[in-house]
Structure 1
Amino acid sequence: MLPELQPLPDGPLPQPGDWIRLEAGAVPGAPADARYLVAQWHQDNPALYELHHPEDHPDHLDWAAVVTIDVITLVTRQTYDHGTRSWAPPRN
């Protein structure tokens, strides 16, 4: 298998492609039950996560927020080999 197709290792930190949920009130206007896609690290800084809306959101083609690990409450990763796994990330 090509290295870029290897499944991502389990946590503890979110990676681009993971789905996350945020702490209630962490981002103004973001509902507590909303999930977001980790699009990339913001400005190549692995401490800042750039989030996108899910596809069913009217603004799904636009970024939703930039957050730190401190406001992420749940990470969900889906892979072909290992299915779906969720965990709470470590807090700083």
Structure 2
Amino acid sequence: MQISARSLVLKIIICIILIMLLIGALLKWGVPAAAEKVAAQLPENSIAELGNQSQNYVFTLTEKVIYPSNNNNKSATIISICLRDSILQR
């Protein structure tokens, strides 16, 4: 039995659509479910330590930022510096 080119193309398109749906479902429900399972297995102090390390990394990346000195952003600069310092003191 010979398969026509039209039915073969239709089968390929259907398979591509099914694969895209499966990947979408995996990303929407599979990854969050797996992340919850992994997070439930980790000890609480390791989660806090990972958070602290991430926070310190972000602060080291942003501490060398030169804040603008014009009057429009002066209050925003003061607020951001105070906020950063209060977070670092925790």
TM-score above 0.5, yes or no: no
Greater per-residue strand proportion? 1
Rg (Cα) greater in structure: 2
TM superposition score normalised by structure 1: 0.22
Greater per-residue helix proportion? 2
Higher relative contact order (CA 8 A, sep 6+): 1
